[in-house]
Structure 1
């Protein structure tokens, strides 16, 4: 357990991983530990010294109908953990170093077109404090491409209205600034001046620093955000499930469809590698057809009847 605590500290302090990521790492590691003990292969994580144990675990996961994505994540977690143990001289061999996780197909995210986004905005009742708060949340997610965790962790001090920017604390400790359009600036001004104050008054923490406040006067949680989005979908009359990453995807797709450079979108999304952004380069068939008709030289050639 001391080793796991040390590893948690390493992930938090040296790797600067989020608490959510660290939690998943530890769950994956403890899952392998349970497998070792229950099957009688070893009495601890340090006792796993034979490479075939890693192969046995891979077969175990596959036979128990874990998805390829889940298996791939678990193997990656264990590979990193045993690499840490090896570098710190807890073990001599990383039994997962040569284990190849199953390839996970990269499915394109569900596409929300601009008309559907408009329905969401039109369905909002901004006459109430919660309704206006939801407007600002939706606009930030769609106009800035934020992750759920990034939106939830925003503080009042991260908002720079005078320079039309907000500071985002991204994954892996990577901070970035994103741009605010004029309408969103006005929405944030009104929210900060009137709405947020009204919501905070319902709770006990008048010095709360988080930007978004729930109906009880406390900081909004990720679970609360999902509830808000579910309610928005219900009111708009749409039938799909909406989660924050779909709005992030819609942001990137809209930017690219309207001519934004891929590397600019990469910076706005906070992607470390351009490859992560390229999944958003798909465009609608209508947009593709429109660009083709406008640009291909043969489209302007007159067709003569024989």
Structure 2
């Protein structure tokens, strides 16, 4: 139910955050899409854009909106996400009305490219070696090992509270939409986190973030991304070697060693098995690369 006092995009953002438990980044992006749509329609129709007006929106109106966005340089993948957000917004504002049928742009699904175990460890080691202080190097090493050794997303690792200490054989992780899962901790990963915790110059109270920035605040994911970007060039690793590539590598290497797809889905925290099935293609691509590089007649 909408509130006539708040603008419709703000109402939708509140619904996504409160009722759908979407992330801050998702809420911000979807709200921006709704604001762009209503602003476009205000100029396109030359009148007020309220729930009654949105109930009469046509496929031609949506095509005009997407055409305007494409003229601003929007690519296929971004246009598809924009259309998906628009559909969600319209369904929220006018749930009884049928959203006009409009086929989105074709999006070629990209296959994540993993890196080898040696490359993953070399990357984490280079980032740690490049750190300004020893405790920061220990922190970066621990964070990157969590991505590669436990399959965490960068946001999940950064969000860990200090109450996870002392560590056991498993770690409870809060993922997308506040869903929790239990992941096993390899001894090497546990040792890396404990080494960092022993060096960090701030008290790690239970409710405080485990991983701290240089000034004691919560560590920003951007700091880790920039550190990886700076380190990968010297190791001959490509632009697609990001912190998230370590999570891809975790999944691909487990699958290559015979891991069950359902078990991998649980470890990664995927809501749908289809999200995990992409790694079957990843593993095949990885094996083909190995074959081409090693076979004398490839």
TM-score by length of 1: 0.81
Matches within 5 A, 1:32-181: 32-46=37-51, 47-48=53-54, 49-51=56-58, 52-87=60-95, 93-94=97-98, 96-123=99-126, 124-125=128-129, 128-159=134-165, 161-162=167-168, 164-181=169-186
Q: Secondary structure at the match of 2:271?
A: coil
Q: Secondary structure at the match of 1:168?
A: strand
| Counterpart Cα distance in 1 of 2:240 and 2:212 | 23
The answer as to 2:290 corresponding to 1:285 is no
| Counterpart Cα distance in 1 of 2:78 and 2:185 | 36
Shift of 1:3: 3.0
| Counterpart Cα distance in 2 of 1:103 and 1:112 | 28
For each residue in 1:209-234, what CA deviation from the matched residue of structure 2 results, as whole angstroms up to 9, or x when unmatched? 11111111111012222122223325
For each residue in 1:153-176, what CA deviation from the matched residue of structure 2 results, as whole angstroms up to 9, or x when unmatched? 1111245623x1111111122111
After superposition, the Cα gap between the structure-2 partners of 1:70 and 1:213, relative to the gap in structure 1 and judged at 3 Å, is same
Q: Secondary structure at the match of 1:228?
A: helix
Query: What residue number does 1:227 align with?
Result: 226
TM-score by length of 2: 0.83
After superposition, the Cα gap between the structure-2 partners of 1:206 and 1:166, relative to the gap in structure 1 and judged at 3 Å, is closer
Counting matched residue pairs gives: 279
Residue segments in structure 1 that go unaligned for 5+ positions in a row: 290-306
Higher relative contact order (CA 8 A, sep 6+): 2
The answer as to 2:194 corresponding to 1:195 is no
Contact 2:123 2:228 in 1 (8 A): no
Query: What residue number does 2:295 align with?
Result: none
Contact 1:167 1:175 in 2 (8 A): yes
| Counterpart Cα distance in 2 of 1:285 and 1:32 | 45
Residue segments in structure 2 that go unaligned for 5+ positions in a row: 1-5, 292-298
| Counterpart Cα distance in 2 of 1:151 and 1:242 | 18
The answer as to 2:184 corresponding to 1:182 is no
